[in-house]
Structure 1
Amino acid sequence: MIRYCQLTTFVIGSIFFSANTFSQTKNISPAGSRMISSDIFGLFFEDINYAADGGLYAELVQNRSFEYSPTDNKQWQALSFWEYITPGFSYGSLQIETNTPVHPNNPHYAVLNSEHVGTVPQQNNGQPLPSSITTGRPGVGIKNPGFGNIITKKGERFHVAFFAKQLSVQPVDLFVSLQDPKGNILAEQKLTIDKKEWNKYTATLSVTAGHDSTQVVLLATSKGKIALDVISVFPEHTFKNRPNGLRADLAQLLADMKPSFIRFPGGCLVHGDGLGNMYRWKTTIGPIEQRTEQKNIWGYHQTVGLGYYEYFQFCEDIGAKPLPVLPAAVSCQNSGGTWRIGGTGQRAIPLEEMQEYIQEVLDLIEWANGPVTSTWGAKRAAAGHPAPFNLQYVGIGNEDKITPEFEQRFTMINNAVKAKYPNIILVGTSGPFHSGEDFEKGWAVANQLKVDVIDEHYYVQPEWLISNQYRYDKYNRNASKVYLGEYASWGNKLYNAIAEGLYMTGLERNGDVVSMASYAPLLAKDQFTQWKTDMIFFSNSTYYLTPNYYVQKLFSTNAGDHYVDKVIVKNNADSLQAGSCVYDSKTGDIILKLVNAGKQARQFQLNLAAFKKTASVATVTQLSGDADAENSFRSANAVAPVTSTINVSKKFNYESPAMSLTVIRIKTK
């Protein structure tokens, strides 16, 4: 029997009933309402499906630091995605060295030796040569195609930065350019490498003609030898124009959802493929040349250019609370691919190293919240953010196998954090499924330790969501709160999204128990997708939004802080019909969500008697269509919500179309 119905009753304290989690009422709340979490709908970001490098992170150069290796991908090595070029019949050499790196955390760099710079001939025996030979400038260099292809448009500007040092007696002239595949120069700038120690060089390139397969080229045009590393190209326009920033269009899509929080950086990425691959937050802050790159558990590479500072900055930029998730001092139980044989590859940090690891967790809180006079607060300030980030939530663990080793280490971390930072809300874990051994053991640990919030995960068929829409009605109101950190139905058709919307009405109804929820995964790159259900699909040039995205956005942009019963009257015996009514005390708006997951229209009776004065006209936003409809790159708007207005009264009926989510927003006077 699942133990979430049998938890011992206890009171966590006032933390969930403070301004941190529940809004303070500004307007008079309606009769019969109850407070629910104001943080209920947020986002979960994991670097899966090339969501970070090559995706949300706006860096255009792939393998910018020459740190790719067969550990990331068996076909990769330090020069992967770089091509050695010698236009104009020039010659020289290219090699990777590790003797004197820019920083020990970034050990590999390229050494480019320009031995002879030739000329570009126009004819051979009197016959014209092809443009691929006659175009461009002679020299010895390297070029990079980016993550698949780099899109440039006329008039765009790009910021280039790289580290270099002069290894030869004489300085070396180096042209940095953007070129098309034929070598036509779209933008360029000349620099002279004349420092004997590592030096950062920068340039700004203005594109005179765009191309959909632009390449980054560094070309030595004089004799000499130089070392190169951390070759970076960013569009000038990133989200909020942040340096080392985010791809503007994708970041804006997330901002438009108005999430109350963002959980990051994963997922399975957090506890990693073995202890050496765990995501350690301290190696992801500071200058990018000092960060420690490593393999991605999903089969590629992570530069951690999108690191903890950037995650926290993005949360602040869009008004979302940060929810960093740290390993619970154990690696993923599927380390080494043991999921294929059903074994456990979980490894635990030795107990003699636990105090050092616990300090790492405590240091994160100081880094986020400490004054500039503190050790880690000073590091935050040095990065450009003297004000605290006001961290409230910290997650410990992700879908871990609830072993004795896990339980012992989680308990040590929990007790240490609560002793030093009692107001931090800790989020535990209950394994990867909605039931079963790890689920029960995870809840038992939460019950024993009185963990603030426990993170539930499940990916299911849409029918499961419909059948279990009353799941949280049965939960103990005085036990740990629930964070539904990862959930989705298996698919991106409208039916999947509507089933999710139906289930979400149950999350709102139980918003006093379910304090947070986030769909997963968030982003998936075209042709690099490892997970078959995602919210946003993108390429280097465009994106499309799934019906699932629209459902999540309709809930997150229409959240409330009070749930109001007895407003929506429906056939309770009909599992394909669901609804919720919330009240937003900040705006005074009544928000009705009506879901019909069936093939015929359904009637809802709506009674606004709990509200003293209501407007006579309401805004209606509706997502509806064929159950099998879905969006794609070719038909990005095949399924999209439509907004209109209707007349309303204290009591009125509403006919909900087949396969639909309808949001009715009514102002009070």
Structure 2
Amino acid sequence: MMKKIACTALLSTLAFTWLGASAQQKGDAAKPRKISPDLFGIFFEDLSYAADGGLYAELIQNRSFEYSPADNRDWNSMTAWKYQTDGFGYGTISVETATPVHPNNPHYILLDIQDEGQKGVGLENSGFDGIPVKAGKNYNFSVFLNAISDQSLPVKVALVDRKGKELGSSSFTTSDKGWKKYAEQIHVNFDNDSAKLVLLFKAKGKIGIDMVSLCPEETFKNHNNGLRADLAQVIADIKPKFMRFPGGCLTHGDGVANIYRWKNTIGPVEQRVEQRNIWNYHQSVGLGYFEYFQFCEDIGAKPVPVLAAGVSCQNSGGTWKIGGTGQKGIPVEEMKAYVQDVLDLIEYANGPVTSTWGAKRAAAGHPAPFNLEYLGIGNEDKITGVFEERFRMIYDAVHKAHPEIKIIGTVGPSPKGEDFDKGWKLADQLSVGIVDEHYYEKPQWFLKNTQRYDAYNRLRSKVYIGEYASWGNTLFNALSEAVYMISLERNGDVVRMASYAPLIARIGHASWNPNLIYFNGTQVFPTVNYYVQQQFAVNSGNEYLPGVIKMKGEKTVLDTTAGVSTVRDSATGDLILKIANAGSVPVSGEADLSKIGQLPKSATLTVITGNPEVKNSTDNPQAIVPQSSVIKLQKKWAFTVPAYSLTVVRISSRSMEKHK
């Protein structure tokens, strides 16, 4: 495998030769082309345990006892739980629904402790592949308890290792009858990657138990009901311009009853409506629309929520195996209410605190609007009459009530075909501002289609590539994507946004491969594809400058394994050159920097290169990572870059100012 030190050594093989003044390159006089300021972003979908057991910081699995065989045929309300009677206590345990904490959260545990024994009687939770804890850290525990007996009950909550050794604990006593929330903080004294939480009642009595929660005190930006800090930070480090959420196929769901309803995901967590996940697990919706909007704000990404277009996924009921015929529409007589839900989302995001839904946002702790600009309607739907009728109803209502909102339509799941053609025809008829194209293809497809958007009509709808990836996480996969992304910069006046998909996956629970980031309970593993995406997002610009870089030789010019771009970030004034080479031989060229003004003496050079068959892994997570150095600058540059490499040169305007 290509070690980090080997990547560093390869930097020295870059043959940068500086030339004197020469004739201007062809194309220098061409006008710059505008690039969308929102070109490179991310797409989050709750698949592969991306939310529960992933980005959402909750460490207890099935915290509200709502798992069922509908989620997974092997699951029930006690999945991830164990009845704990190790101290020779005994009693009865049952799952009840008669008097829940809230009607939206119907299941709870009823525990009748008939003899508390030596240690107490209660429950044990194993978390998601174990509960990871760190010595010296605090963990916030909470639980809803319904004390049915007259007497109060002493309670102990502890984190223990697999052998029962206590890692940290806290104790409290129940008070009053009826449901009440209890909160404690547990200080952990020992590291452990696979701890368990034990909740023990140490006296005779009856008690209802629900919403058992354990979260690290330290979450991303230290929000309550927050996100896993290390995973959120790796996502934030991409510097995405936007984030699409919550899906994906998740959005339009497995049947009409499973369509993702945003209103079910806001408010106190014990009042949210949990539901089955189309990817065969469960959504606690603790990571709901408020948290999505908040995360977007925290990382400086514009929110791009996607709502179902009034139809379920055409692959509902597993019909992807037979060509996808499971699309069902919300009954027409119910569409008025559904359309109102869409309008209410805009009010929730942008409305004043005096509005109905703006007030709910403020009550959640965010009086200021979230500044929603984009709204997706539909996700790679089959373009049927059922779809068209409902899409038009939603589109017309949103466009009339909120002309300021940029609506994103859909043109099916593939880069061509019947749904693609019908989707574009509908977009033309309605003058939809942006359409969402999706494609997962082999690396060679990306290399052969770098001119896809050159021929697009600039007067038609703009394009959002909501989901794309080559099939794999090797360096060659990432570089094929890099060459293609250069073509997106060149056509940044047509392609408004693009996001690799999927974003994250928990190791051992991946519903889809490849992914941009893998993780387990304690570590995060960015792929080399991640580093390519990061380089483009961090080094994006809003002006494409043609004619600055010229490749040498007719073969190189025609060879789609290489691509170059020059962009300017008008916000900073920085100039960024990118050279992507997915080929097996070095490539050369010339860059004329004479037209950009006074040059600084140096610039930052970042290179990603190595063995094309290598990918970052849990055993070698930094097999291939970006390597940066400082290079000297002159106005005429002849370059040679390695085979299988992405090279980025950033010329800082601050340095330019110093050298005027």
TM-score range, shorter chain: over 0.9
Give the equivalent residue in structure 1 for 2:112: 113
The answer on whether the counterparts of 1:165 and 1:194 sit within 8 Å (CA) in structure 2 is no
Structure 1 distance, partners of 2:323, 2:240, is 36
Structure 2 stretches lacking a partner, 5+ long: 1-27
612-621 vs 291-300, which deviates more? 612-621
Q: Which residue of 2 aligns with 1:12?
A: none
Which of these residues, 147, 157, 160, is aligned with residue 179 of structure 1? 160
Structure 1 partner of 2:652: 667
Indicate yes or no: 2:568 matched with 1:583: yes
Give the Å deviation of 1:46.
0.4
Which letter maps to 1:398? Answer: N
Aligned partner of 2:584 in structure 1 is 599
Tell me by how many angstroms 1:184 deviates. 1.9
2:620 is equivalent to residue 635 of structure 1: yes
Give the C-alpha shift of residue 34 in structure 1. Answer: 2.0
The Cα offsets for residues 303-358 of structure 1, whole Å up to 9 and x where unpaired, read as: 00000000000001111100000000000000000111224100001111111000
User: Contact 2:316/2:324 (CA < 8 Å) preserved in 1?
Assistant: no
Select which of 207, 226, 248 maps to 1:267: 248
Aligned to 2:424: 443
Tell me the residue number matched to 2:335: 354
Distance in 2 separating the partners of 1:66 and 1:630: 39
Structure 2 equivalent of residue 339 of structure 1: 320
CA distance in 2, matches of 1:510, 1:327: 29
Aligned partner letter, 1:441 = K
For 1:558, the equivalent position in structure 2 comes to 539
Q: Is the Cα–Cα contact under 8 Å of residues 193 and 226 in structure 1 kept in the other structure?
A: no
Q: Contact conserved, 2:448 with 2:560, CA < 8 A, in 1?
A: yes
Task: Show the counterpart of 1:98.
Answer: 97
Equivalent residues in 2 for 1:160-199, closer than 5 Å: 160-199=141-180
Cα RMSD (Å): 1.1
Is 1:304 paired with 2:289? Answer: no
Select 2:458's aligned residue among 477, 482, 490: 477
Letter in 2 for 1:562: E
Task: State the match for 1:372 in structure 2.
Answer: 353
1:33-48 alignment to 2 at 5 Å? 33-48=32-47
The residue that corresponds to 1:7 in the other structure is none
Structure 1 position 654 matched with structure 2 position 653: no
1:388-432 deviation digits (Å, cap 9, x = unpaired): 011000000001000001011101100100100001000000111
Query: Is 1:619 aligned to 2:604, yes or no?
Result: yes
1:537 to 518, 527, 530: 518
Give the match's secondary structure for 1:92.
Answer: strand
Q: Deviations over 1:87-113 (max 9, x none)?
A: 221111111000011111100000111
Per-residue Cα deviation, 1:430-475 (whole angstroms, up to 9, x for no partner) = 1110000001111011110000100000000000000000100010
Question: What is the CA distance between 1:174 and its match in structure 2?
Answer: 1.1
Contact 2:148–2:208, Cα closer than 8 Å, also in 1: yes
TM-score normalised by L of structure 1: 0.92
Q: Aligned partners of 1:101 and 1:140: how far apart in 2?
A: 22
Please state how far the C-alpha of 1:32 moved relative to its aligned partner.
2.3
| Cα distance in structure 2, aligned partners of 1:580 and 1:343 | 40
* Whole-angstrom distance in 1 between the partners of 2:365 and 2:632: 51
Map 1:384-533 onto structure 2 (within 5 A).
Answer: 384-533=365-514
SS state at 1:346 partner = coil
Q: Distance in 2 between matches of 1:648 and 1:436?
A: 48
Q: CA deviation at 1:30?
A: 10
Contact persistence 2:380–2:410 (CA under 8 A): yes
Code of the aligned partner of 1:316? E
Query: Which residue of 1 is the match for residue 297 of structure 2?
Result: 316
1:330 aligned residue (307, 311, 314): 311
CA contact 1:30–1:611 (8 Å) conserved in 2: no
Preserved contact between residue 36 and residue 493 of structure 2 (Cα < 8 Å) = yes
Residue identity matched to 2:398: V
Looking at structure 1, the residues matched to 429 and 324 of structure 2 have their Cα atoms a distance apart, in angstroms, of: 27
CA distance in 1: counterparts of 2:199 and 2:232, whole angstroms: 30
Segment drifting more, 151-160 vs 604-613: 604-613
Name the structure, 1 or 2, with higher relative contact order (CA <8 Å, separation 6+).
2
Say which of 197, 207, 210 aligns to 1:226. Answer: 207
Separation (CA, whole Å) in 2 of partners of 1:112 and 1:156: 31
Q: Secondary structure at the match of 1:198?
A: strand
The answer to whether the Cα contact below 8 Å between 1:274 and 1:346 also exists between their aligned partners in 2 is yes
Residue pair 1:481, 1:514 contacting (<8 A) in 2 also: yes
Deviations 1:130-169 (A, max 9, x none): xxxxxxxx11110001001111121110001111111112
The aligned runs of 1:284-303 (5 Å cut-off) are 284-303=265-284
Supply the AA of the counterpart residue of 1:418: H
SS in 1 for 2:334: helix
Give yes or no for contact 2:133–2:195 (8 Å, CA) kept in 1.
yes
Amino acid at match of 2:624: V
* Cα drift, residue 84 of structure 1: 0.2
Report the AA paired with residue 624 of structure 1. Answer: T
Kept in 1: contact 2:608–2:645 (CA 8 A):
yes
Identical-residue share of aligned pairs (%) = 56
Cα distance, 1:616 vs structure 2: 2.5
- Report runs of 4+ in structure 1 exceeding 2 Å deviation: 29-32
Query: Residues of 2 paired with 1:306 and 1:491: CA distance?
Result: 28
2:88 match: 89
Q: CA deviation at 1:85?
A: 0.9
Q: Could you tell me how far apart the structure 2 residues matched to 1:470 and 1:308 are?
A: 37
Report the equivalent of 2:188: 207
Contact 1:614 1:667 in 2 (8 A): no
Counterpart for residue 235 of structure 2: 254
Q: Is the Cα contact below 8 Å between 1:31 and 1:610 reproduced in 2?
A: no
1:512 is paired with a residue whose SS is: coil
1:382 equivalent to 2:367? Answer no
Aligned pair count reads 623
SS of equivalent residue, structure 1 residue 580: strand
Using the alignment, how far apart are the partners of 2:240 and 2:402 within structure 1?
25
CA distance in 2, matches of 1:118, 1:616: 77
Shift of 1:31: 7.1
Q: Distance in 2 between matches of 1:343 and 1:656?
A: 46
* Of 207-216 and 555-564, the range deviating more from structure 2: 207-216
Paired residues of 1:32 and 1:610 also in contact (CA < 8 A): no
1:511: Cα distance to partner? Answer: 0.3
TM-score normalised over the length of structure 2: 0.93
- Alpha-carbon shift at residue 567 of structure 1 (Å): 0.6
3-state SS of paired residue (1:579): strand
Contact preservation (8 Å) 1:31, 1:611: no
CA distance in 1, matches of 2:185, 2:324: 52
SS state at 2:51 partner? coil
Aligned to 1:14: none
Matched-pair contact (CA < 8 Å) for 2:30–2:547? no
